[in-house]
Structure 1
Amino acid sequence: MPAEAAELLTDALRDLPDPTLLDLGTGTGQVPKALLKALPSLAHIEGVDWSRQMLDQARVALTPLLGSCALSLVQTSADVYTRPAPLPGEEWWTPDLITCCRAFHWMSGPDVLAMAHRVAAPQASLAITGDGSLWTYEADWTRAPRHLIQQYVGPGRRADTMGDYTQPIRPFQEELTDSAWSDVAEHRFPITRTWTLESVLGYLRSTSFAGADLFADRHAAFEEEVRALLDDLTDSGSLPEETEFTVLLARRPAGGR
Structure 2
Amino acid sequence: MTHSSVPAPSPDQESLFAAAAADYARYRPGVPEAAVRLLADVLRGRPDPVLLDLGTGTGQVPLALRHAVPGLAHIEAVDVSRQMLDRARDALAPVLGRCTLTLVHAAADEYRPPAPQPGEVVRQPDLITCCRSYHWMPGPAVLAMADRVAAPGAAVAIMGDGSLWSHDSEWTRALRELIQAYLGSERRAGTHATYTEPRRSYQEDLATSAFTDVSEYRYPVARTWTPAAVVGYLRSTSFAHPDLFQERHEAFEAEARQLLDTYTRDALQEEAVFTVLLARRPGTAS
2:166 paired with 1:127: no
Cα shift at 1:73: 0.7
TM-score (norm 2): 0.87
Partner of 2:10: none
Distance 1:5 1:120 in 2: 21
Deviations 1:27-65 (CA, angstroms, capped at 9, x unpaired)? 000111111111111000011000111111111111111
TM-score (norm 1): 0.96
Distance 2:119 2:258 in 1: 59
Select which of 95, 110, 120 maps to 1:90. 120
Distance 2:206 2:126 in 1: 17
Distance 2:260 2:157 in 1: 35
Aligned residues: 254
Query: Equivalent residue of 2:265, what SS?
Result: coil
Across the aligned residues of Structure 1 and Structure 2, the Cα RMSD in angstroms comes to 1.1
2:262 paired with 1:251: no
Unmatched segments (≥5 aa) in structure 1: none
Select which of 230, 236, 248 maps to 1:206. 236
Distance 2:121 2:201 in 1: 37
Select which of 75, 79, 99 maps to 1:49. 79
Q: Which amino acid aligns with 1:206?
A: S
Cα shift at 1:91: 2.2
Partner of 1:72: 102
Q: Which amino acid aligns with 2:278?
A: L
Partner of 2:63: 33
Query: Equivalent residue of 1:160, what SS?
Result: coil
Partner of 2:257: 227
Distance 1:95 1:135 in 2: 33
Query: Percent of pairs identical after alignment?
Result: 63
Distance 1:163 1:254 in 2: 41
Partner of 1:155: 185
Q: Which amino acid aligns with 1:253?
A: P
Select which of 161, 170, 174 maps to 1:144. 174
Q: How does 1:4-43 map onto structure 2 within 5 Å?
A: 4-43=34-73
Partner of 1:165: 195
Distance 2:192 2:109 in 1: 18
Partner of 1:190: 220
Cα shift at 1:177: 1.3
Deviations 1:147-190 (CA, angstroms, capped at 9, x unpaired)? 11111111111101121001011110111011100000000011
Cα shift at 1:89: 4.3
Cα shift at 1:143: 1.0
Deviations 1:1-39 (CA, angstroms, capped at 9, x unpaired)? 111101111111111110000000000001111111111
2:132 paired with 1:102: yes
Distance 1:138 1:101 in 2: 21
Cα shift at 1:90: 2.7
Deviations 1:191-235 (CA, angstroms, capped at 9, x unpaired)? 111111111011100000011111111111110000010011222
Distance 2:196 2:268 in 1: 28
Distance 1:154 1:33 in 2: 37
Q: Which amino acid aligns with 2:77?
A: G
Distance 1:60 1:197 in 2: 27
Query: Equivalent residue of 2:191, what SS?
Result: helix
Distance 2:265 2:192 in 1: 37
Q: Stretches of 4+ moved more than 6 A in 1?
A: none
Unmatched segments (≥5 aa) in structure 2: 1-30
2:147 paired with 1:117: yes
Distance 1:17 1:178 in 2: 30
Query: Equivalent residue of 1:68, what SS?
Result: coil
